Amino acid sequence: MRQKAFLCFMNASRYMATVFAAILFAACVKEYSFERGPAGSVAKGSLRATSGDCQPATINGVYKQDGTVGDSNYVIVQVRFTSPGRYKIFTDTQNGFSFYDSSVVADTGYQSIKLKATGKPILAQVTNFLVAFDTSFCRFSVPVVGTAATYTLAGSPNSCSNSNVQGIYTVGTALSAFNTVTLRANVATIGSYSITTTTTNGITFQGSGNFTSTGLQTVALQGIGMPTTPGKNMIPVASGTSDCGFIVNVMAGGGVINRADSAWQFRQGNNYFHGYFDGALTDNSSSGSTILTLVGLTPTKDTAIAILVNMEGSSTVKPGTYKSSTSSTFVFFNYTGNTIYTADKTTRGVELTVVITAYDAATQIAEGTFSGTVLNQANQQVPIAQGKFKAQITQ
Out of 72-81, 185-194, 373-382, least confident range:
185-194
- Pairing verdict, β 203-211 and 215-225: antiparallel
Burial per residue of 87-120, b for 16 or more beta-carbon CB atoms within 10 angstroms, e otherwise:
bebbbeebbbbbbebeeebeeeeeeebebebeee
> How large a percentage of the chain has pLDDT more than 70?
86
Q: What pLDDT, in 10s, does the model give residues 112-154? A: 999 999 999 998 788 999 999 999 999 999 888 777 888 999 9
Using omega within 30 degrees of 0 as the cis cutoff, is the peptide bond preceding 157 cis? yes
**What value does the mean pLDDT take over residues 249-270?**
74
Indicate the pLDDT class of residue 239, thresholds 50, 70 and 90: confident
**What value does the mean pLDDT take over residues 17-28?**
40
- Compute the half-sphere exposure of residue 29: CA atoms within 13 Å on the CB side of its CA: 6
**Distance of alpha carbon 147 from alpha carbon 64, whole angstroms:** 8
The reply to whether CATH 3.40.50.10300 applies to domain 44-144 is no
Q: Which amino acid is at 164?
A: N
Q: Identify the CATH homologous superfamily for domain 147-250.
A: Immunoglobulins (2.60.40.10)
Confidence check: pLDDT of 253 > 70: no
**What value does the mean pLDDT take over residues 201-225?**
88
Out of 22-31, 122-131, 231-240, least confident range:
22-31
Domain boundaries, the chain: 44-144, 147-250, 251-395
Confidence check: pLDDT of 13 > 70: no
**CATH topology match: 44-144 vs 147-250:** yes
Closest among 370, 327, 379, 333 to 352, alpha carbons compared: 370
Q: What pLDDT, in 10s, does the model give residues 151-164? A: 999 999 888 988 88
Confidence check: pLDDT of 19 > 50: no
Out of 117-121, 270-274, 353-357, 370-374, least confident range:
270-274
The secondary structure of 299-342 as a DSSP string is TTSSEEEEEEEE-TT-SS---EEEETTTTEEEEEEETT--EEEE
Indicate the pLDDT class of residue 286, thresholds 50, 70 and 90: low
- Contacts for 10 with CB less than 8 Å, ≥ 6 apart: none
Mean pLDDT of the chain: 83
**Distance of alpha carbon 239 from alpha carbon 384, whole angstroms:** 43
